Structure 1
């Protein structure tokens, strides 16, 4: 079951549950705004500072926490306390409003204004119970239906968070439910971690096989920089588009960065071009085009894909390059070489940017990629061998992905049943299969 098929109106809460708005049983604390003009002389303090990037869905990432210097009075109003439930103001729609409990991991830690700190009334509400409730299908339905959507992100606000209707059992039962879910989700999370580890090993196996084929080909026929095989490197434009993908056969769309990912092209990843904007036909992508992401996160910049036959009326954006190749060099061959470990290392060393969230590649950087000087016959033979090697890996990967989907769905269903009173936690261990 997912958010789209879940109807919270069908729930029947136990008789000892009451339905109250979050604002009645918790206080919302706003964070501080970074202000370069703020006076930081006099009575000031330097404290760790939690940003949106540190707050994940149901967990925290504290590997990189910055510090900020502010007047003591401002710090006092934005200091986190153990037991606070953190919620982000904006982000991906499916992560909006997901609560994470702050357990005092960093002493005196402050939080950004795009993070809300929910401070439960200790006599009425358990923070752990609230965090699980926001992760349930019940919570997801509320936050996804009330969130404000923009082109790339979604957002909520303090009023919507405080209006969240809580199905609230007695405090002792909240604690019992949270304790039960701590144990059960930890068990499921271990299984998820195991499946993810298996998937990573399959990815490594695929890379190692591809690398060995490329090394063998390069040693037999030599290699040259990609510039020797390139006729053009062009980027498109990014007009103001609507967030939804194109709907009809005759509409135009602009590709999103996510259309190019790890050698695969997804024509569904696009934004609708408004009818009043005329498409620049020169930027229309066509089957067989070789695409390379110009700007992205460090792990995704330089991703490649070949446009497939299902691409129609789609335009090249300015954050994706289209690489023209000389006759006799297949785009699919260059794409596979670009996925090799050696080229990825070159991309990591050449990528430029002031932020770890977005780096860029120049066309000249791409032209330095080493490409085996294979004949058309050798290229086709190489591609056939890569495809044969990938078949078994893909079957195993699909099986792992199915297991992951089942585990993730079961986790959310278990949380939903427990926090809404559909599953009695006193007998759940006997009733729930291992």
Structure 2
């Protein structure tokens, strides 16, 4: 039955609006332009029930009501540009609804909204709202519910940190524990009694756990779930006033968009995230991901500017500690992602050198990253017409992925299979094709 509900009615309902509320919002948007709109609840009903398409002006007013940038309004694709129902608006009390939306979505994968990743329009709109809202911590004292003790929060912080810093081959077994920690923290935020200082720690923990859960879902190709957990983490960071953590979660959403071949969305999210990121290491990582998104669009000059900024910012001395979410960023990551950007721009020789250099710099503890780097290296060897060497790198990536449980590496290598099939007689390629098919 829900599949037959018009998307406008779904969005309106998710925002708690009646048809009258939406009509009033449209009329108010027209008035702000010095114009008048004749939209009323009957007109809204025609759009939602009779399938009548709103005219250009009305679609622009609808976009303003729901906070969608005008450049994202494609009149001809109505109603596809409307924001996703599952994206909770940022607000003073939005953390718990966003966390519970992500947790519910993860438990019930049969829901229609979980079948695909969140639209680029919704993500850009959310990033714009975050970037344009200048607010400090919003966590207030909660005076109702069962008391939450500092000892309990300390235990949750300690165990969460230990679970999330295990080596990849161990973390593949801990996903249910991390999920359970996030569910517990969500309940404490929603139902516990605590002072603001403890509430801030709970929100910070929720943001960190949501980010970890999202990456686990992303690694296993569950993109709709991953996006909702990153968004839930963004709400938590927003409530605690942690701009760098908020930028981190937007950056992760952008990384996902690039992975899903939507570099335009990725770049626009990152541009907004950079407006409020302060720590040099955090800004370096965002510029590096921006470079990847720009290179995928063939924007050479902008890509080189972003790479230069990432290199300059990495290692800039600062009295503030490096945020945990980007403490792993190193010269190895800078070299490999720079190489990937140059590869997308057609500079194959230099790209190959940088990727090889980055792989050599990578510490032994980062096995999953090594598997990803090996897949990148396989691609550059194919670009250079070296299928035998490419097959060796891809085979190592698959072996590593199998040992530590890293399905994203497998996905990268399998994406190269069509190119390897053109070299089926080259040394190592037949064996790789068999291994990739398993």
Normalised by the length of structure 1, the TM-score is: 0.23
Task: Say which structure is richer in strand.
Answer: 1
Structure having the higher helix fraction is 2
TM-score (normalizing by structure 2): 0.22
Q: Which has the higher contact order (CA 8 A, sep 6+)?
A: 1
